[in-house]
Amino acid sequence: MTCLAVGAMVLALSSPTFQLSWSHSVEHVEWQEEWRVTAAGLTLDTARIRGSGAGMEPGDRAVLKDGWWEWPGALSVPSLALAASGATAGGWTICTDGTCSQIGTAPGAPLIIAPCGDSIPEPAASSRTSG
């Protein structure tokens, strides 16, 4: 069993993978990322967007698959900091084990996602994701 801290919520995962999705605040284009919890933190396995626009171009080696630009992830971080600006349509959706939850729907401090442990590490500046 894997444990993931999502802000004040703790998720017990039967699988170490989860999907994070949102709609870009300016372009209103759907974005999805497939993440895996590892001993070192979080690893991005796959990212995809349904279209492109300002600041959200498809990544290296992207291929068009069923209307989505999809590419392999190339990022490992100790944690993620999601900007909870309230500007995204509906905040963020986190899905794991067939269940989805809405997070970061109201403006506030960044929402931290990290593997459970004694403490949640501060995210590196490069691991910040905004919608």
- The string of pLDDT tens digits covering residues 59-85 is 889 999 999 999 999 899 999 998 877
- Asked, for residue 119, whether it belongs to a domain, the answer is no
- Asked, for residue 85, whether it belongs to a domain, the answer is yes
- Asked, for residue 65, whether it belongs to a domain, the answer is yes
- Asked, for residue 131, whether it belongs to a domain, the answer is no
- Asked, for residue 115, whether it belongs to a domain, the answer is no
Which residue range forms the structural domain that includes residue 35?
16-106
The overall pTM is greater than 0.85: no
- Asked, for residue 73, whether it belongs to a domain, the answer is yes
Residues in the chain: 131
Task: Note whether 9 and 120 are within 8 A (CB).
Answer: no
Total number of domains constituting the chain: 1
What is the percent of the chain with per-residue pLDDT over 70, rounded to a whole number?
81
- Asked, for residue 112, whether it belongs to a domain, the answer is no
Q: What is the mean pLDDT of residues 90-101?
A: 88
Task: Note whether 17 and 36 are within 8 A (CB).
Answer: yes
